[in-house]
Amino acid sequence: MSRIIGLSPFACTVALALFTQPCEVNAGPVESDATATATTRPSPKADEDSYQWTTGGRDWRQSYDSPLKQINKENVAKLGYAWSSDIEGSSKLEATPIVVGDVMYVSSIAGTVYALDAETGEQRWRFDPGVASFSAIFAKACCGPINRGVAFSKERVYVAAIDGSLYALNAKTGGIIWKVDTIIDRSRAYTSTGAPYIAGDLVVIGNSGGDFDSRGYISAYDIQTGKLAWRFFTVPGNPRDGFEHPELKMAAKTWDKDSRWDAGLGGTAWDGMAYDPELDLLYVGTDNGDPWPHTIRSPSGGDNLFLGSILAINPKTGRLKWYYQNTPGDSWDYSATSKMILADIRVRGKVRKVIMQAPKNGFFYVLDRVTGELLSARPYLRKLTWASRVDMKTGRPIVRDQARYWKSPRLIFPNPWGGHNWQPMAFNRGTGLVYIPVREVGAVYALAPEPFSYKKSKLNHHVNVSSPSVNGRFDNWCDSPCPGLEEILKGQPDILKGQPDVTPRSFVRAMDPVSGKIEWEAETTQKTILRYNNDNFVSYPGGVMSTAGDLVFEGYLDGTLDVRNARDGALLKSIVVGNPITAAPMTYMIRGVQYVAFLAADGRDGAKARMVALRLDGNVVPPPTRPQVAAPLESSAQMPQVTDPKLMNAGRQLFEQNCAMCHVGGNAPSLIPMQEAVQHQFFDIVLGGSRVNKGMGNFSAILSNDDATAIRTYLINTRQEKNH
């Protein structure tokens, strides 16, 4: 069957009968122009508010690009410290703040919101959605109690708390105007980690949880009252139960009638969205499917709509206008939830209204945002082995046999965390280039050895993944009994033979969005090193921001912020901040002074989180505050090594199922080696929720005392093995 781009003629026939608005049929592919150039046509409102940053990506285009140029490549050497403000919680912070007037609004752990004086950093108010009561919910969050930002409209600030509550707050006081519950089934592992988006008179939010057992959907609420306007499900439920809206009947035809409906199937919309006020279209990116292998999720195959897709929805009706699926039948965790940028660029001599995205799967997509027509799909990765290319006639990727790990274990690039994930990229209107934070990392995928069994509110991937360290050692991440790579290699000794070098690396790349030409790149590997299990792994570089001053800003895990020449990538300034930086920076101007600001925090480094602002002629950034480490309650001699192999193996499996998502390359500190004070407080932390304010949940509903004992034994024993 031909790849559907936008809606096929058949789908349009159905749509004309069911929808209130017409849909578009694509007339055929448009080949990219190697000499494509960008045009600058920002909205009048964007120019008027050029000194502000009013959405996560600055304006409605979500470009993470600012027209400010007081700070530029000629004077950026003078950039230094202006102010900082402490932020509670030690979990990794992934939100880009917004500035409206002279107030900065930023979210932190679990949906806590701060209003700060944007000139001084002084706190005006703080909103706590009830973090202390979220302890059990944290245990259901795939990647910790993170929050990716707030939305602002008409003197109100909107935020989604991790428990799925959506709040409208008074922008002057932080008081609650209204609150709604966005979760449809609290027996499943639904959470909210993304920022709300404003679409006309609606505030829109998706949910997280597809890595567990959730079924994806988007909810739209009246911006004034909080009344539900519509809800769009991104995957069908069991067809025997009927369909909530007509698009699901079409989508169900791309699923096995005996799909694992009980497992939710994923497709959650946990991050990337954008809204075009001129076209009145809302764009939503959707997540991967779960279980990952389509051979288990939908045994007879099929594209499995709307997994891994970009959806264009009419916000007035909640009906689909067009869709494009990046990864049909996704089996690799290749989400399409990365940030999307709206721009007007020239393709073969004609200016097109486009939407651009660099999802996990390694291809950079340019679509006509009016019709969904595919204009370009070029690799932004140099190592990309799951597919050879995207067929411009059908819009479908040409999947290689190398990707079919359900036949036998395979080394595949990129790994499940993707070549580019949630970290924002930026589109500079002056250079016409997109700046992408990139990871070149592969993984050995292997089906879990036991038959699939749905686990309520737990990880249901059914795939074991081994990714390489900088030193070439593979470490495992599993949600089931987990054979290590060494064990797999005994039966499959040629897995790595003839494949690309597995050494992981990270980069920031400047790419022409249509031709796909990489104009320049800078390697950032050493700045993104994550220490785990006495080895070094490559994590993500931080999000990117660009400016009309011909500058590109990016922060890193090593606690530095780099500023580069947007035209050639030359490093112009590197500022030591001290806290790891993962969120994208932003910039704004108050009383004639331009500031650059960003959240700086990560649970792994132990330092106090903070918002940091810089300006020209500023000082050296002071080091972050580090809390005193409690003295151990007992000496190490009193911590005996336990070598019971059954207990050790049980602890390892429980750790991989319940802890590794955050404590191996996630938001939380590595537990190997685990400090002795933590060893003695382990049960209070894990089963008692004593560190909920730091982002560590209460796992007592998931783990028994015996389970916790096994995990603790595994961690202590592993630590002692590493020390001998």
Enumerate the H helices of 292-340 as residue ranges: 294-297
Comparing 89 with 279, which gets the higher pLDDT? 279
pLDDT for the residue numbered 91: 67
CA distances from 290 to 139, 262, 414, 452, 702 (A): 18, 11, 18, 12, 20
pLDDT for the residue numbered 564: 98
Structure token pair of residue 264? 């939710």
Mark whether 499 and 641 lie in a shared domain.
Answer: no
Asked if pLDDT for residue 287 goes beyond 50, the answer is yes
Helix (H) / strand (E) containing 283? strand 281-285
| Short-list 477, 476, 459, 447, CA closest to 210 | 459
pLDDT digits (tens, 9 = 90+) for 351-398: 999 999 999 999 999 999 999 999 999 999 999 999 999 999 999 999
Residue 660 lies in a domain: yes
Structure token pair of residue 518? 């990489």
Contact at 8 Å (CB) between 659 and 665? no
pLDDT for the residue numbered 701: 60
**What CATH number did the domain enclosing 159 receive?**
2.140.10.10
pLDDT digits (tens, 9 = 90+) for 65-95: 999 999 999 999 999 999 999 998 656 799 9
Q: Report the alpha-carbon distance of residue 195 to residue 52 in Å, rounded.
A: 18
Residue 59 lies in a domain: yes
Least confidently predicted of 232-246, 315-329, 623-637 = 623-637
Asked if pLDDT for residue 305 goes beyond 80, the answer is yes
Asked if pLDDT for residue 722 goes beyond 80, the answer is no
Prediction pTM value: 0.86
Asked if pLDDT for residue 581 goes beyond 50, the answer is yes
pLDDT for the residue numbered 481: 60
Confidence of residue 720 (pLDDT cuts 50, 70, 90): very low
Type of residue at 262: D
pLDDT for the residue numbered 675: 62
Domain closes at, from 499, 525, 551: 525
Residue 267 lies in a domain: yes
How many folded domains does the chain comprise? 2
Tell me what the mean pLDDT of segment 688-715 comes to: 70
Residue 201 lies in a domain: yes
Catalytic residue among 33, 59, 330, 333: 333
Asked if pLDDT for residue 41 goes beyond 50, the answer is no
Residue 581 lies in a domain: no
Comparing 699 with 497, which gets the higher pLDDT? 497
Least confidently predicted of 227-231, 436-440, 692-696 = 692-696
Phi, psi of 491 (to 5 degrees): -95, -15
**What CATH number did the domain enclosing 680 receive?**
1.10.760.10
Mark whether 362 and 496 lie in a shared domain.
Answer: yes
SS (H, E, C) 561-609: EEEEECCCCCEEEEEECCCCCCCCCEEEEECCEEEEEEEECCCCCCCCE
Tell me what the mean pLDDT of segment 270-289 comes to: 96
Comparing 558 with 685, which gets the higher pLDDT? 558
Other Cβ atoms less than 10 A from the Cβ of 625: the count is: 13
Contact at 8 Å (CB) between 558 and 527? yes
Is 684 a known active-site residue? no
Mark whether 516 and 648 lie in a shared domain.
Answer: no
Cis omega before residue 236 (within 30°)?
no
| Short-list 89, 55, 361, 69, CA closest to 204 | 55
pLDDT for the residue numbered 124: 98
pLDDT digits (tens, 9 = 90+) for 142-176: 667 889 999 999 999 999 999 999 999 999 999 99
Domain closes at, from 525, 560, 580: 525
Residue 623 lies in a domain: no
* Partner residues linked to 427 by β-bridges: 434
Q: What percent of the chain has pLDDT over 70?
A: 80
Domain closes at, from 525, 547, 579: 525
Asked if pLDDT for residue 618 goes beyond 80, the answer is yes
Confidence of residue 7 (pLDDT cuts 50, 70, 90): very low
Residue 23 lies in a domain: yes
Confidence of residue 239 (pLDDT cuts 50, 70, 90): very high
Structure token pair of residue 484? 């290590």
Mark whether 278 and 414 lie in a shared domain.
Answer: yes
DSSP letter for 630, please. Answer: P
CA dihedral (438, 439, 444, 449) positive or negative? negative
Helix (H) / strand (E) containing 466? strand 463-468
Tell me what the mean pLDDT of segment 609-625 comes to: 94
Asked if pLDDT for residue 48 goes beyond 70, the answer is no
Q: What percent of the chain has pLDDT over 90?
A: 66
| Short-list 293, 146, 44, 129, CA closest to 599 | 146
Residue 586 lies in a domain: no
End-to-end CA distance of the chain: 59
Confidence of residue 482 (pLDDT cuts 50, 70, 90): low
| Short-list 94, 106, 210, 109, CA closest to 161 | 109
The set of residues, in sequence order, having a beta carbon less than 8 Å from that of 597 and lying 6+ positions away, is 97, 99, 104, 118, 585, 586, 587, 588, 611, 612, 613, 614
Phi, psi of 26 (to 5 degrees): -75, 140
Asked if pLDDT for residue 10 goes beyond 50, the answer is no
Of the spans 361-365, 407-411, 679-683, which averages the highest pLDDT? 361-365
Confidence of residue 619 (pLDDT cuts 50, 70, 90): very high
At 117 the three-state DSSP class reads strand
pLDDT digits (tens, 9 = 90+) for 172-198: 999 999 999 999 999 999 999 999 999
Confidence of residue 622 (pLDDT cuts 50, 70, 90): very high
CA distances from 671 to 26, 534, 665 (A): 52, 11, 11
Tell me what the mean pLDDT of segment 235-245 comes to: 96
Structure token pair of residue 571? 């490093």
Average pLDDT over all residues of the chain = 85
Q: Report the alpha-carbon distance of residue 701 to residue 618 in Å, rounded.
A: 49
At 256 the three-state DSSP class reads coil
pLDDT for the residue numbered 704: 77
Strand positions, DSSP E, 578-706: 586-590, 593-600, 609-616
Q: Report the alpha-carbon distance of residue 570 to residue 662 in Å, rounded.
A: 34
Least confidently predicted of 37-46, 333-342, 464-473, 484-493 = 37-46
pLDDT for the residue numbered 18: 32
Asked if pLDDT for residue 1 goes beyond 80, the answer is no
Range of the domain at 218: 9-69+91-525
Type of residue at 348: R
Q: Report the alpha-carbon distance of residue 551 to residue 563 in Å, rounded.
A: 6
Query: In which residue are the tokens 């929808």 written?
Result: 19
